[in-house]
Amino acid sequence: MKHLLPLLDPRTVPSPCFVLDEARLAANAAILDSVQQRTGAKILLALKGFAAWDSFSLLSRAKGHGPLWGTCASSVDEARLAREEFGGEVHAFAAGWTEEELDELLPLVDHLVFNSLAQWERFGPKVRAWCRDNGREISCGLRINPEHSTQEGHAIYDPCAPGSRLGTTLSNFDESLLPLLDGLHFHTLCEQDADALAVTLAAVEEKFADLLPRMKWLNFGGGHHITRPDYALATLENCILSVRQKYGVQVYL
């Protein structure tokens, strides 16, 4: 995509190309901002779902007049795009990082989330040493698996399916590592309504509530279909406010 175009006669649009409706994109951004204003949550753009960088001025607080606080990247290239083109907070998560990827990621990210305790034990000291040597802080977190599925018809990529290795389950959690972690992250939804979030959040609290007051932030992940006309905004906002009030954490989506 090279430009944001005004509404055009489809017969005049070159093919193939992607055409974005700027007004509708701005309207969606306004809905997201309204949630932030009422709850204090910070909403991020997931680059793996939308990386049309010519639109970033509509979405980024740092590079334009948009509402979003930053981005979530799932690769080094996405993190670089986030830093160079979107600005704001750069969060990164992947199911597994390599030594070489970490070397490239550390100068780019503000938040770094690991999928497993094995990954954290392997790379946590490297991250802390890099921060110390460079005088820069990176907030580190761990993805958790609440082991409660809300998926229907998507079992092949359900992160809470039996045997899933996406996120750390409570039985595999090592509380001795908590002083080194700033936050927890869960990602279980797929274009779902807030009722699925409420059920998931109850499972998260059932298993991890005693850990949450020791965290600085909790990331609700993605998959929230917030801009859908019939989405239950009040339920979403109640979930966010409840978590903030009970545990004193910053909430990210």
- 224 DSSP β-pair partners: 192
pLDDT at 117 over 80: yes
User: Which pLDDT belongs to residue 13?
Assistant: 80
| Confidence band of 6 (pLDDT split at 50, 70, 90) | low
Better-scored residue on pLDDT, 82 or 48:
82
Q: Are 185 and 145 in contact (CB under 8 A)?
A: no
Distance between CA atoms of residues 45 and 88, nearest Å? 11
| Confidence band of 20 (pLDDT split at 50, 70, 90) | confident
| Confidence band of 231 (pLDDT split at 50, 70, 90) | very high
Distance between CA atoms of residues 217 and 208, nearest Å? 13
Mean pLDDT of 179-186: 91
User: Which pLDDT belongs to residue 153?
Assistant: 61
% of the chain exceeding 90 in pLDDT: 63
32-42 residues labelled b (16+ CB within 10 A) or e (exposed): beebbeebebb
Mean pLDDT of 106-112: 97
CA 49 to chain centre: 11
